[in-house]
A and B are shown apart, each in its own frame.
Chain A
Amino acid sequence: MSDRPADSAEPLLSICLVGSKRSFSAGDELVCEYQVDAVDPADIQAVEVSVVWYTEGKGEEDLGVHYFERRLPADAEDGDLRPMRRLRTRLPNSPLSYSGAILAIRWCVRLRLFLRRRGDFVMEYPFTLGAVPIRVPAVA
């Protein structure tokens, strides 16, 4: 959650999944490009990109991190974290995306930008893992 002045100009965050699909099978390779723009590179404190699942529904939110990368200005050429960067990860066999009665499991690529004195900015790109139908049909 970010806490920042409402009038400050917001940086531009973008996530691009390579390929045309937003539904993945277990074991598929997820390739994704992300970029930060419209911000002074000197203002960037860190950039975090992660592939996560989280729960929604009646219960408290649970979060699982499948892939995580944190980059500091010291990790980048010229200390500039804005240029486009690619992440590549093989997706696990579980938990599969699910929409139940009081519980849902969602997957997303999450990009989080930390700015000096302006908190953090988050962008998510949802996708589905597996093909569990919304309702499980009963076997006759």
Chain B
Amino acid sequence: MARLFRFLEKKRGQRRTGSNLMGSVGEAIFCGALFLLGMLALTALVAAQVVRYDPQSLAIGLGWWLVFLVLSSFVVIGGVGLIRTALRVGASAERRGAMARQASELDIVHEAVPRPKNYPTVPPFDGLTNSPGVELAYRLPPSSTPGWRLLATTLFTLAWNGVACVLAVWTVQGHLARQPDWFLTIFLFPFLAIGVWSIRYLLLQIWLHTGMGMTTVEISDCPLVPGQSYQVAIAQHGHISVKSLELWLVCEEEATYRQGTDIRTEVRRVFEQQLWSHRDFRIEPIEPFQASAALPIPATAMHSFHSAHNSVNWQLVVRGEVSHWPPFERGFSIVVYPGEATLRVEVSANVARNALRPQHSVTGATTGATA
């Protein structure tokens, strides 16, 4: 039985240990059942109203309309899932990819933005060139905006500590009324500890982003091409004593995958090169620290790459150590195009000689191996 049908199978993303056909059949059965259940129940619900009209049950609220919405969602989710499964079973991955490519070629928004042609999967650089620099041509936007992190931290801190305050008042009232709830009292301590930690973390974030001062990075050209050297200018604002400030050129691979219901992202730094460093100096608010450096892109560097689940990202990273502050690191994305040294394949003399001979074919294995 186990050979015919495995109860436990591994699935990561679109890869699975079992049969794809069986997986698709299972998906189709699930979606079809959901669709049918939704349709039947929805029909019964509406028919009941048609046969025996009850205006009270149709009042705005959580009654009839909530059931209607839930059943409608069953129909939509089941129907869409069924159509997706049918399309996937009927077409190969390459055919679906070709259809997706045709659809993307009709993208009017991208057509309107001028970009070098015939560089698929190299990410666009429109966002990097729309801000002119003071020293050099372009000012780079930071890779991660601190504002969003600060907003998320603020919301979490407010929500958590709001609940903590309500629980604390409730607990204290119980103790004052000589009717203590000991379970709630014990539960409150870790709750308050997390609240205190969140306040401390929020203050640290505010301190870091307001007191440390802004970092700006400008580059002389964009996109960057391997084998060429550019200029980069850095400016650090604030009122701080700097132990060290460094500028790095960094390349990272990023891979996203599903594990169960989680979506995980792994980042691996595959290249880093220090472009510039400076130690033991002081920055005053009236005079930001400014420096410039050469930015050589390695001739054989891999170009920037972006697909649905994988990417190769290049960025300039500013790392700093400041007295009485935690160390900080700020990234600024850049786009690297394929370079001449990597676009061209060196043809050996032997291969060139063979190419001049009458053509012959190189044949691969001819078994029906599946992808």
For window 92-134 of A, CB contacts with B under 8 Å fall at 92-96, 98, 100-103, 105, 110, 112-113, 119-125, 128, 130-133
Q: Are B364 and A15 in contact (CB under 8 A)?
A: yes
**CA A105 – CA B39 in complex, angstroms?**
45
A1:B342 contact, CB within 8 angstroms: no
Does A52 lie within 8 Å of B271, measured CB to CB? no
Chain B: interface residue total (CB-CB under 8 A): 70
- Tell me whether B361 and A139 are in contact (CB under 8 A): no
**In the complex, which residues of chain B have a beta carbon less than 8 angstroms from the beta carbon of A3?**
19-22
The answer to the question of A61 belonging to the interface, with a C-beta cut-off of 8 Å to chain B, is yes
Which of these, A57, A60, A65, contacts B94 with CB under 8 Å?
A65
The answer to whether A20 touches B120, judged by C-beta atoms less than 8 angstroms apart, is: no
The reply to whether A139 and B273 contact each other, CB–CB distance below 8 Å, is yes
Flag if A48 contacts B120 (CB, 8 Å).
no
B 332-371 binary contact with A (CB < 8 Å = 1; else 0):
0000001001111111000100110001111111111111
**Between A and B, how many residue pairs show CB distances below 8 Å?**
220
Asked whether A130 and B257 contact (CB < 8 A) given A17-B361, A100-B312, A121-B370, the answer is no
Q: Is the CB of B365 within 8 A of A25?
A: no
Please give, as numbers and ranges, the residues of chain B lying within 8 Å of A59 by CB-CB distance.
Answer: 13, 254-257, 266, 309-310
Q: Is the CB of A25 within 8 A of B368?
A: no
Known: A2-B370, A3-B21, A139-B298. A103 touches B255 (CB 8 A): yes
Are A94's CB and B355's CB within 8 A?
no
Q: Which residues of the partner chain B approach A123 to less than 8 Å between Cβ atoms?
A: 364-369
Number of interface residues of A (CB under 8 A): 69
A60/B273 in contact, CB under 8 A: no
Could you tell me if A101 and B97 are in contact, using CB atoms closer than 8 angstroms? no
What is the chain B residue whose CB lies nearest that of A100? B253
CB of A121 within 8 A of CB of B368, answer yes
A100 & B118 in contact (Cβ 8 Å cutoff):
no
User: B368, A20: Cβ atoms under 8 Å?
Assistant: no
Q: Known: A52-B94, A68-B97, A138-B273. Is A60-B13 also a contact (CB below 8 A)?
A: yes
Residues of B within 8 A of A68 (CB): 94-95, 97-98
Contacts of B362 in A (CB 8 A): 16-17, 20, 22
Question: Do B367 and A10 touch across chains, with their CB atoms under 8 A apart?
Answer: yes
A2 touching B368 by the CB < 8 A rule? yes
B119 is an interface residue with CB less than 8 A from chain A: yes
Nearest CB of A to B232, in Å: 14
Q: In whole Å, how far is B299's beta carbon from the nearest beta carbon of chain A? A: 9
Q: Are A18 and B359 in contact (CB under 8 A)?
A: yes
* Beta-carbon contact of B371 and A124 below 8 Å: yes
Chain B contacts for A128, CB-based, 8 A? 345
Kindly specify which of B30-38, B211-219, B300-308 makes contact with the partner chain.
Answer: B300-308
A39: min CB distance to chain B, Å: 10
The residue on A at minimum CB distance from B256 is A59
Tell me if A79 counts as interface (CB < 8 A to partner B): no
Q: Known A-B contacts: A17-B362, A68-B98, A128-B345. Give 19 more (CB < 8 A).
A: A1-B19, A2-B370, A14-B363, A16-B364, A18-B359, A19-B359, A25-B343, A59-B254, A59-B266, A59-B310, A61-B15, A65-B98, A94-B338, A101-B268, A124-B364, A131-B346, A132-B300, A138-B298, A139-B296
Closest 5 CB pairs of A and B: A59-B255, A121-B368, A16-B361, A60-B13, A68-B98
**Selected A-B contacts with CB under 8 Å, 8 pairs:** A13-B367, A59-B257, A60-B257, A65-B101, A103-B255, A122-B369, A131-B342, A137-B298
